[in-house]
Chains A and B, each alone.
Chain A
Amino acid sequence: MNNQPQTHLSEDDLILFMDRELSATAAANAEQHLMQCGDCSQRLKRLKAGSAAYAQYREAVLKPTLPVPETGWARLSQEVIKEKRRRWGWGWAAACACGLALAIAYFLVSEQPSAQQVLSRAEAAEPVPATARLLLTTGHERLYRPAVLESGPSEVRFQHVRALFVQANYSWENPLSARSFSSWRKSLPQKEDAVTLISAAGGRKFYRVQTSTSESILRSASLTLQAESYHPTKVDLSFVGQDPVELSEQTEPPKNGLEVVQAPAPMVMPKVIESPATPEDELRVFAALDAMGAEAEEPIDVKMDMEHHSVLLTGMGLATGRRKEIENAVGALPRTVLHFSSGPRLSDDPAFTSTPNNDAPDESQAFRQNLQDRYGGAHQLQAATDKALDASNGLFARAHLLFLLAREFPPGVESTLSSASATSLLSMRQRDVGAMEYALRQLKEELLPLSSDSAPQESNNEQVARGAAWQSVADALFTNARNLDSTVSRLLSGRYTEQEGNTMLKQLPSDLTKVEILIRAQSITDK
Chain B
Amino acid sequence: MIALNEQPAERAFSLDAEVEQIYRESRGSVCAYLLYLGVSADKAQEVTQEVFLRLYQTMRKGTPIENLRGWAFRVAHNLGLKVRSKERSFRAVDADWDRFAHPSNSPESELLDKERNQRVAAAMEELSPQQRNCLYLRSEGLRYREIAEVMGISSSTVNEFLRRAIARLAKAANE
Residues in A lying within 8 Å of B, measured CB to CB: 11-12, 15-16, 19, 21, 46-47, 49-58, 60-69, 71, 73, 75-77, 79-80, 83, 137-140, 192, 212, 214, 219-220, 238, 242-246, 263-264, 266-272, 297, 317, 319-321, 323, 327, 331, 337-342, 345-348, 352-353, 355-356, 358, 362, 365, 378-379, 382-383, 393, 489
Contact = CB atoms under 8 A, between A and B. Distances in A.
Contact of B167 (A11, A64, A340): A11
B78 A379 contact: yes
B5 A51 contact: no
Interface string B1-17: 11111111111101111
Contacts of A73: 20, 23-24
B14 A62 contact: no
A15 B138 CA distance: 12
A53 B143 contact: no
21 contacts: A15-B162, A49-B170, A56-B117, A58-B139, A61-B99, A65-B96, A66-B36, A68-B27, A68-B28, A73-B23, A83-B57, A140-B7, A220-B21, A263-B6, A269-B3, A297-B62, A320-B6, A338-B2, A341-B7, A342-B7, A382-B78
B54 to A, nearest CB: 9
A348 B10 CA distance: 14
A272 B63 CA distance: 40
Contacts, number: 217
Contacts of B35: 65-68
A52 B71 CA distance: 26
Given A16-B159, A320-B11, A53 B5 contact: no
Contact of B166 (A50, A214, A339, A356): A50
Ranked 7 nearest A-B pairs via Cβ: A347-B62, A269-B3, A50-B170, A342-B10, A342-B7, A50-B169, A319-B14
B8 to A, nearest CB: 5
Interface of B: 1-12, 14-17, 19-21, 23-25, 27-28, 31-32, 35-36, 41, 45, 48-49, 52-53, 56-57, 60-64, 66, 78, 81-82, 93-97, 99-100, 103, 116-117, 120-121, 124, 135-136, 138-139, 143-144, 152, 154-156, 159, 162-163, 165-174
A7 to B, nearest CB: 19
Given A54-B169, A342-B7, A76 B49 contact: yes
Contacts of B5: 264, 266-267, 269, 339-341
B20 A138 contact: no
B41 A69 contact: yes
A321 B120 CA distance: 52
Contacts of A46: 170, 173-174
Contact of A321 (B16, B61, B78): B16
Given A71-B45, A77-B20, A80-B56, A47 B9 contact: no
A345 B62 contact: yes
Contacts of A11: 163, 167
A62 B38 CA distance: 12
B7 A266 contact: yes
A346 B53 contact: no
Nearest to B174: A46
A12 B159 contact: yes
B44 to A, nearest CB: 8
Nearest to B127: A54
B3 A338 contact: yes
B60 A297 contact: yes
B17 A238 contact: yes
Contacts of B10: 317, 342
A362 B159 CA distance: 13
Nearest to A337: B3
B1 A272 contact: yes
Contacts of B143: 21
B89 to A, nearest CB: 16
A320 B20 contact: no
Contacts of A382: 78, 152
A173 B32 CA distance: 42
B13 to A, nearest CB: 9
Nearest to A268: B3
B66 to A, nearest CB: 6
Nearest to A245: B8
B90 to A, nearest CB: 14
Nearest to A12: B163
Nearest to A239: B12
A408 B16 CA distance: 31
Contacts of B60: 297
B53 A80 contact: yes
A52 B170 CA distance: 9
A337 to B, nearest CB: 7
Contacts of B52: 76
